[in-house]
């Protein structure tokens, strides 16, 4: 753990000293986004020390030609990534003709805060530029009221001189990606323009040989200064446009530049309309003035928090953690655009691009089910439905039937090129179906399965039926050559989680076909399902091999896992961790160390199929060997930890989940934030500490309270109700904020109520601890 921002506040992320060594980490943490676009916490003005500039537009991606040492048949031809795009925040500042550069000049009182309550990033500092001292305040936000709009207000106060300040606001589309496979630039210039106080740049992703969509984006700026400019010039060239605005300044006077930017793209408009549309947006918005735009934006954030805030009393670090996670996740995705999905790094870095992974279905969907309108979750399901044909193509490429959803994708095609992931980490297919089950069970809305979901369920079942093989001496079906969720072991046989979820997918397919035979014949007919096919699925499911050790009475992660040298994580020298940064890959693969929940992932998904005792035995066994070097791990262990009454461990793992980036647990946050696992902090509270479950379409809670906390509360949408749940030391309160009667169970007792329910916790402590 490494905390660089030591001042902790429930609503703010505070940086009170300038970071040079850890600037990339600070830039990741100070990221902003509005679902449509986003950026790392780069400075507006020139900065000559180490920095990773990054600004990304949702859904705008580029197929970067695959680079591998030895080409294997079936490799995807490209690695998809969301390219770093036009730098639109740039504002160079000159003080009496000398550049302000925080990498070079003397800096005092540096302070930066990310206000999560209203999504505004503010920076203040005093700088000495060759003897001229200025006090600077910069505020910026990406409007969530008007998605195309970004606003920056840059104030400069003279502390000791009469002279001049030059603002050079610019747009620069000549940008690169650090992770480009062939050091290639991904953008080409279309045009640029400039006028007094105005500028625009239009650029397009380069043509590519893979036939994927190209995107054109337009960045347009209008700059306003607080006093009459002495000089006002403008200039543009390929990829670039700037204004130069010089104003006089007197000692103690403040001068300001406000830069309004609109970004439009061919995802929404035709190329010829990009410039005029962005101009219209700017004209419509600017008349409102900076303060009103900020107010509108803040009010939207307030609305989001009203429905989703989680309050923790007694533990400010935990409070900050959960809000940070919700803030960054909602900054990445709030369900406004059905074409989008949630990239593991969102808009905060290059690694993992903004591509879609199984993370969405496995980790994010349950959060959106709980806090957003159900159409958001349905959009996420339809995103995969719309890619079904590509998933069938993907299975075909591997010589298999049915549909194999990609591990990493933008348009349905696989675009990840490590063989052990692309070809082998097929468990991801199960999560596509689990998400359909989750949505249907949670919302009670069966129409999705009837209309679309069944097609996905059937094709995934076909995939599993063709991917298993029959082991004749064992008389069972097996799945060889896979990578389970634990990516620290590859090409294993019979990964329990994969076999279990494959079996479940087949059973779920049969169950739904049988249901639809009665309810919606046409859904069955359009999938062309024959009796023998169903029987085959039943036979495979009934005879699926699931590794188990009778002596230890535990599930075995995969064949021969117990033959490894079993060393516990606590016995490893501290400096070996994280293993992925200190050990060779082959040493990791041979070891018993588990990157992320694997057996536990299955126990979490299918929690109603395992007793508390079974959960405890498997948790206790596997936790010892798990290094949680995937951000997706600790939330699952935290949830099961709460369920089995190991609150101490589950609290520790909650902190690791909620503060993973703020405390840089895995020493990799400088690359960007772990966006998709941010839902894990919410899950660890709601499903973990509060024990919310929805098995068999019944809502239940089993609330516990970590001893470090006085109380916590959250809201959830469940079917037609919105409920507020408050867990205090003595009582649990559940408030129905909607109309009608609520039916649920708490600590195993059923209740029906209309307004409020109060349950003594003390009486239940014995039961729940």
Q: Which of 344, 353, 547, 688 binds ligand BGC (CB under 6 A)?
A: 344
Say if residues 47 and 93 touch (Cβ distance below 8 Å). Answer: no
The answer to whether residue 487 is catalytic is yes
Candidate ranges 72-80, 355-363, 379-387, 519-527; the one touching ligand BGC (CB under 6 A): 355-363
| 361 part of the interface to ligand BGC, by CB under 6 A | no
Min dist CB 431 to ligand BGC, Å, is: 10
- Number of Cβ within 10 Å of residue 494's Cβ equals 24
Does the footprint of ligand BGC cover residue 663 (CB under 6 A)? Answer: no
DSSP of 603-634: HHHTGGGS-HHHHHHHHHHHHTTB---STTHH
Closest contact distance (angstroms) between CB of 595 and ligand BGC is: 6
* Token digits of residue 769: 């601890």
Nearer to ligand BGC, 246 or 678 (CB): 678
Q: Are strands 240-249 and 711-718 parallel, antiparallel or unpaired?
A: unpaired
Furthest CA-CA distance within the chain: 91
Q: Does 676 bind ligand BGC (CB under 6 A)?
A: yes
Count, residues near ligand BGC per rule CB under 6 A: 12
The answer to whether 358 contacts ligand BGC (rule: CB under 6 A) is yes
Q: Out of 148, 487, 533, 643, which one is annotated catalytic? A: 487
Q: Tokens in use for 710?
A: 């006085």
By CB neighbour count within 10 A (0-12 exposed, 13-18 middle, 19+ buried), where does 131 fall?
Answer: exposed
Would you state the structure tokens that stand for residue 367, as one six-digit string? 């959060």
| Residue of 570, 510, 563, 561 whose CA lies nearest to 534 | 510
Q: Which is nearer to ligand BGC, 170 or 488 (CB)?
A: 488
Cβ at position 630, least distance to ligand BGC in Å: 4
List the 700-701 sheet strands across, edge first. Answer: 700-701, 742-746, 749-753
Cα 275 to Cα 89: distance, rounded to the nearest angstrom: 18
- Shortest Å distance, C-beta 674 to ligand BGC: 7
Q: Which of 141, 170, 327, 352: binder of ligand BGC (CB under 6 A)?
A: 352
56/154 with CB nearer ligand BGC: 56
Distances (CA, A) of 115 to 58, 151, 324: 22, 15, 10
Q: Tell whether residue 489 is a contact of ligand BGC (CB under 6 A).
A: no
Cα separation, 202 vs 217, in Å, equals: 6
Q: Is position 630 an interface residue for ligand BGC (rule: CB under 6 A)?
A: yes
Q: Look at residues 409, 416, 376, 378 and name the one whose alpha carbon lies nearest to residue 391.
A: 409
Residue closer to ligand BGC (CB basis): 359 or 489: 359
Give the residue, chosen from 240, 305, 357, 504, that forms a contact with ligand BGC under the rule CB under 6 A. Answer: 357
Which range binds ligand BGC by CB under 6 A, 236-244, 351-359, 390-398, 699-707? Answer: 351-359
> What residue has token string 């689990």?
434
State yes or no: residue 596 binds ligand BGC (CB under 6 A): yes
Minimum distance between the CB of residue 406 and ligand BGC, rounded to whole angstroms? 11
Site for ligand BGC in 492-531 (CB under 6 A): none
Q: Which is nearer to ligand BGC, 487 or 533 (CB)?
A: 487
548 - beta bridge partners? Answer: 555
Q: Where does residue 508 rank: exposed (0-12), middle (13-18), buried (19+ CB within 10 A)?
A: buried
E strand or H helix at 759:
strand 756-760
Taking phi over 0 as left and psi of -120 to 50 as alpha, with beta for the rest, 313 belongs to beta
Least separation in angstroms between residue 671's CB and ligand BGC is 12
Q: Does 484 bind ligand BGC (CB under 6 A)?
A: no
Q: Is 702 in the site for ligand BGC (CB under 6 A)?
A: no
Comparing CB distances to ligand BGC, the nearer of 297 and 428 is 428
Query: Catalytic residue numbers?
Result: 487
Q: Which residues bind ligand BGC (CB under 6 A)?
A: 344, 352, 357-359, 485, 487, 595-596, 630, 632, 676
């Amino acid at each position: 753990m490494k905390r660089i921002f030591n001042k902790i506040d429930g609503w703010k992320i505070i940086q009170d000293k300038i970071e040079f060594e850890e600037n990339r980490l600070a830039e990741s943490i100070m990221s902003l986004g509005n679902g449509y676009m986003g950026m790392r916490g780069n400075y507006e003005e020139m900065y000559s020390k180490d920095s990773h500039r990054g600004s990304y537009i949702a859904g705008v991606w580029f197929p970067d030609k695959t680079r591998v040492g030895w080409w294997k048949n079936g490799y995807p031809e490209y690695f998809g990534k969301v390219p770093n795009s036009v730098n639109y925040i740039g504002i160079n500042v000159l003080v009496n003709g000398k550049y302000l550069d925080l990498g070079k000049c003397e800096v005092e009182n540096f302070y930066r805060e990310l206000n999560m309550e209203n999504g505004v990033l503010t920076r203040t500092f005093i700088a000495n530029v060759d003897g001229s001292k200025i006090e600077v305040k910069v505020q910026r936000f990406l409007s969530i009221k008007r998605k195309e709009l970004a606003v920056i207000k840059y104030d400069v106060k003279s502390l000791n001189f009469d002279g001049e300040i030059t603002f050079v606001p610019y747009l620069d589309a000549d940008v690169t990606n650090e992770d480009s496979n062939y050091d290639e630039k991904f953008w080409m210039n279309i045009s640029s323009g400039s006028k007094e106080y105005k500028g625009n740049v239009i650029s397009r992703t380069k043509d590519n040989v893979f036939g994927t969509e190209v995107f054109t984006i337009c960045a347009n700026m209008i700059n306003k200064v607080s006093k009459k400019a002495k000089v006002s010039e403008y200039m543009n060239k390929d990829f670039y446009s700037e204004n130069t605005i010089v104003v006089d300044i007197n000692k103690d006077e403040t001068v300001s530049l406000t830069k309004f930017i609109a970004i439009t793209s061919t995802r929404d408009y035709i190329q010829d309309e990009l410039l005029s549309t962005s101009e219209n947006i700017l004209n419509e918005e600017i008349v409102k003035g900076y303060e009103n735009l900020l107010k509108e934006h803040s009010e939207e954030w307030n609305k989001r928090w009203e429905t989703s805030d989680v309050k923790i009393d007694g533990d400010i670090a935990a409070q900050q953690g959960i809000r940070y996670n919700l803030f960054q996740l909602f900054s990445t995705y709030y369900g406004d655009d059905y074409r989008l999905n949630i990239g593991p790094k969102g808009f905060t870095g290059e690694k993992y691009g903004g591509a879609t992974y199984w993370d969405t279905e496995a980790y994010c969907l349950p959060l959106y089910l709980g806090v957003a309108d159900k159409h958001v979750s349905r959009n996420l399901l339809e995103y995969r439905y719309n890619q079904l044909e590509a998933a069938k193509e993907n299975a075909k490429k591997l010589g298999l039937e049915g549909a194999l959803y990609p591990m990493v994708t933008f348009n349905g095609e696989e675009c990840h090129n490590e063989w052990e992931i692309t070809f082998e980490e097929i468990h991801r297919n199960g999560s596509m179906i689990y998400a359909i089950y989750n949505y249907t069970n949670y919302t009670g809305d069966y129409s999705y399965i009837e209309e679309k979901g069944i097609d996905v369920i059937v094709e995934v079942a076909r995939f599993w039926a063709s991917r298993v093989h029959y082991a004749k001496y064992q008389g069972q079906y097996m799945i060889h050559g896979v990578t389970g969720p634990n990516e620290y072991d590859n090409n294993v046989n019979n990964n329990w989680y994969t076999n279990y979820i494959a079996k479940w997918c087949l059973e779920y397919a049969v169950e739904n076909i049988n249901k639809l035979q009665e309810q919606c014949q046409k859904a069955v007919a359009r999938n062309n399902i024959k009796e023998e096919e169903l029987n085959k699925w039943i036979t495979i499911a009934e005879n699926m091999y699931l590794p188990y050790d009778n002596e230890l009475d535990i599930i075995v992660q995969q064949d021969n896992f117990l033959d490894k040298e079993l060393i516990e994580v606590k016995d490893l020298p501290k400096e070996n961790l994280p293993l992925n940064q200190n050990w060779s890959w082959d040493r990791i693969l041979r070891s018993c160390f588990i990157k992320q929940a694997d057996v536990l992932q299955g126990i979490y998904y299918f929690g109603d199929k395992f007793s508390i005792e079974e959960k405890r035995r498997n948790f206790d066994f596997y936790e010892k060997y798990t290094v949680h070097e995937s951000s997706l791990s600790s939330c699952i262990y935290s949830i099961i930890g709460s369920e089995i009454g190991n609150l101490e461990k589950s609290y520790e793992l909650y902190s690791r989940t909620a503060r993973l980036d703020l405390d840089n647990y895995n020493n990799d946050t400088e690359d960007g934030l772990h966006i998709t696992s941010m839902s894990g902090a919410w899950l660890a509270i709601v499903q973990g500490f509060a024990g919310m479950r929805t098995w068999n379409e019944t809502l239940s809670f089993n609330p516990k309270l970590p001893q470090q906390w006085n109380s916590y509360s959250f809201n959830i949408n469940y079917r037609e109700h919105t409920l507020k749940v408050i867990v205090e030391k003595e009582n649990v309160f559940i408030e129905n904020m909607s109309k009608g009667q609520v039916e649920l169970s708490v600590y195993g007792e059923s209740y029906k109520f209309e307004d409020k329910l109060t349950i003594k916790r003390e009486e239940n402590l014995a039961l729940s601890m």
